[in-house]
Structure 1
Amino acid sequence: MEGTIKTLTEKGFGFIAIAEEDKELFFHGNDLKDVAYADLKVGDKVSFEKADSEKGSKAVNVTRI
């Protein structure tokens, strides 16, 4: 899947606006691949996989494209 970084927090997590859907998906800095959390900016295009967690769906294997 692809989307755009919508929100980044100082606590090391953020939200991705999903390209195919009208909603945002949570991601944690630990779920990044080949990019550091500090290097991400709001508006960056990313690819990711959707996974289920205890609190609902989240993005994993997040990579900047």
Structure 2
Amino acid sequence: MIKKILNRFIKSNKASQLKEGNVKFFIKAKGFGFITVKDSEKEIFVHSTNLIDTIKENDHVKFDIEQGEKGLIAVKVSLV
């Protein structure tokens, strides 16, 4: 039992691998935009509450990806 709990804890606390990409657009007044993931066509939603740095269109950024209520979201977004 303790081993199962410990394994779950280890899996949930593994360091996530940061992704990189470019800001497709960011509407500052509305506080959201999208990031195109490097080497992919995938676009990830980003909200202003998940920014470390101020971003604008075409900025090169690094970020983590989490599952949000409506899909994937970029978090801990910072400039490269």
The answer, yes or no, to whether TM exceeds 0.5 is yes
Specify which structure has the bigger relative contact order, considering alpha-carbon pairs within 8 angstroms and separated by 6 or more residues: 1
Give the structure with the larger helix fraction.
Answer: 2
Give the structure with the larger strand fraction.
Answer: 1
Moved over 3 A (4+): none
> In the alignment, what sits opposite 2:26?
8
Query: Separation in 1 of the partners of 2:35 and 2:61?
Result: 8
Over aligned residue pairs, what C-alpha RMSD do you find? Answer: 0.9
Q: Structure 1, unaligned stretches of length 5 or more? A: none
> In the alignment, what sits opposite 2:61?
46
> In the alignment, what sits opposite 2:75?
60
Amino acid at match of 1:44: D
- 1:23 is aligned, of 30, 42, 49, to 42
Percent identical: 39
The count of corresponding residues between Structure 1 and Structure 2 is: 61
Give CA deviations for 1:15-52 in whole Å, capped at 9, x if unaligned.
0011032121000000011x13xxx2211000000000
Q: Structure 2, unaligned stretches of length 5 or more? A: 1-18
> Which protein has the larger Cα radius of gyration, Structure 1 or Structure 2?
2
Amino acid at match of 1:59: A
User: Please, what TM-score do these two structures have when normalized by structure 2?
Assistant: 0.71
